Amino acid sequence: MNPSQAQPTTRKDDLQTVAQCIGHNDCCAVVGISNIGKSNLLRRIHRLGLQSQLLPDADASEYGFVYIDFNLQLQLTGQGFYELVLRSILNQLKALSTETDLIAEVEAAYRQVVAPTDDFQNALSFNQAIITLCERWPRRLVLLFDEFDEVFRELESRVFLNLRALRDKYPQRLIYVVSVGTPLLKLRNSPETGEFAELFTHHTHVLQALEPEDLVQVVQYFAAANKVRFSKEDVTFIAEQSGGHPGLLEAVCRVLAEHTVDGVTRDSRLVVAQLAENANIRVECAKLWRGLSFEKREALLDFVAGNPLPPLPEKELIRDGILRANGDGQTTIFSELFAAFVKRQHLVKSPTERGVRVDVDAGQVFVDGRQTEVLTKLEYRLLLLLYGNLDKICDKYAIVEAVWGEYYIEEVDDARIEKLISRLRQKIETDPANPRYLITVRGRGYRLQKG
């Protein structure tokens, strides 16, 4: 994208909520599903601080924001934790042109953490650095802990007892903001870690999908940066497919841009087929799925099977934004793409059902519960098109575009299509001469039937 293009100013309400917690000296947890925008929100808080549009009465020099990305932690130990936090603090102190003697004291503590004599020295040196900042730095220290899930789940509990003790000692000078996929007490609930998690009990903000106004801004930004035009119908399509999930939204925009000229989509059927095959979309959906607890996955599988949901999983899925009420008051999965993913998981988990089933994420095909031999690239593209249009007729033009590409419309003849159909039947039909699933509709095209 063009870096000179102004970034859209989205999630103002979310920024305001977190900023108000900080302004009241409260710790805050930002909770949300995979790639919903938690990290981006924390980075923006780090970049913006508490500018006038967030807290009009705040003095920008009153707060010192330090962003810590725990993906950069060298080792999942107390020492690794303290090292990364102090390293991040030092970088921010230098960026803010802090007094040299204060930087020197923090650097001395950092060196002791890097080469400690024992675990006790690790915590002692870290504490000394934080105490020095809380007592001598004119700014309130705001530590923005990003990608905090694994850290909180795996580190020894004394690290969090230590963080809680520092917060209790300096409640007006030290603030923690964490981003996690699951509320802290559900990630790990023990007496020791529970004391740290209590800091966030009344200040946990669940990050939902983008609001319609923000979604339009993001789509317009993408279109301008990539020199494409999207119609109002395209924006509606993007919203329905992505559900406002930032990762899915960008992937849908990219696929749509490849099949849009002068604001007109060439063939919506082809776009839908391409979305089903798109690797980035499969990865995003798989991340969302893996981020859900076993109970929530089972509840979603029951949901797509038409079974009633237990009250607690339903409540939590609605809170997380996975389920939402549509305009008719019916509960639906927030994104058509993720809904299709969940349906595929349901089908794959029901191997005794008759019919053709495709696990798009694994690239595997099952017929009557048994896995077929590996399909070629062209065979797999054809099957994805038919599977995405189950029980619907796909004509020659849709097949050519989905399998070979639009530039081959005039070059691929009926015989070539029939040969590909024949090869696919050899792999998915028990009796290819009398097909049960892949049916020819004479004069119109082909249809994949349900089992």
CATH class of the region 12-206:
alpha beta
Delimiting residues of CATH 1.10.10.10 domain(s) in the chain: 351-451
Q: What is the pLDDT of residues 158-210, one digit of tens each?
A: 999 999 999 999 999 999 999 999 999 988 988 889 999 999 999 999 999 99
Global pTM value: 0.76
Name the residue with tokens 């990290």: 39
> Are the beta carbons of 179 and 46 closer than 8 angstroms?
no
Alpha carbons 430 and 437: distance in angstroms, whole number: 10
User: Residue 169, Cα to own-chain centre: how many angstroms?
Assistant: 36
Q: Give the largest Cα separation in the chain, rounded.
A: 85
Give the per-residue pLDDT at 74.
Answer: 81
Residue 189, exposed/middle/buried by CB under 10 A (0-12, 13-18, 19+)?
A: exposed
Could you tell me the pLDDT band of residue 50, with boundaries at 50, 70 and 90?
A: low
Give the per-residue pLDDT at 3.
Answer: 45
Supply 152's token pair: 């909180």
Give the per-residue pLDDT at 60.
Answer: 67
Q: How many C-beta atoms lie closer than 10 Å to residue 277's C-beta?
A: 17
Could you tell me the pLDDT band of residue 450, with boundaries at 50, 70 and 90?
A: confident
Q: Which of 170, 195, 205, 130 is nearest to 25 (CA)?
A: 170
User: Residue 136, Cα to own-chain centre: how many angstroms?
Assistant: 39
Amino acid present at 225 = A
Q: What is the pLDDT of residues 416-427, one digit of tens each?
A: 899 999 999 999
C-alpha triplet 358, 360, 361: angle, nearest 5°? 135
Amino acid present at 26 = D
Q: DSSP strand E in 290-373: where?
A: 323-325, 331-333, 356-359, 364-367, 370-371
Q: What is the pLDDT of residues 51-64, one digit of tens each?
A: 655 666 666 688 99
Q: What is the mean pLDDT of the chain?
A: 88
Q: What is the pLDDT of residues 88-108, one digit of tens each?
A: 999 999 999 889 999 999 999
Give the per-residue pLDDT at 266.
Answer: 61
pLDDT above 90 as % of the chain: 53
Q: What is the pLDDT of residues 128-138, one digit of tens each?
A: 999 999 999 99
pLDDT above 70 as % of the chain: 90
Q: Of 121-130, 298-307, 324-333, where does mean pLDDT reach its minimum?
A: 324-333
Amino acid present at 226 = N
Give the per-residue pLDDT at 361.
Answer: 63
CATH architecture of 351-451: Orthogonal Bundle (1.10)
Q: Which residue has the higher pLDDT, 265 or 343?
A: 343
Q: Which of 184, 149, 208, 135 is nearest to 28 (CA)?
A: 184
Delimiting residues of CATH 3.40.50.300 domain(s) in the chain: 12-206
How far are the Cα atoms of 14, 289, 291, 336, 426 from residue 297, in angstroms, in the given order?
A: 27, 7, 9, 17, 35
Amino acid present at 393 = I
Alpha carbons 258 and 228: distance in angstroms, whole number: 9
How far are the Cα atoms of 311, 324, 372 from residue 328, in angstroms, in the given order?
A: 21, 11, 41
Determine phi and psi for 249, rounding to 5 degrees: -60, -50
pLDDT higher than 50, residue 1:
no
Alpha carbons 152 and 174: distance in angstroms, whole number: 19
Q: What is the pLDDT of residues 366-396, one digit of tens each?
A: 888 787 888 888 888 899 899 888 889 999 8
Q: Which of 288, 269, 291, 390 is nearest to 342 (CA)?
A: 288
Could you tell me the pLDDT band of residue 275, with boundaries at 50, 70 and 90?
A: confident
**3-class state of residue 394 by DSSP:** strand
User: Residue 324, Cα to own-chain centre: how many angstroms?
Assistant: 17
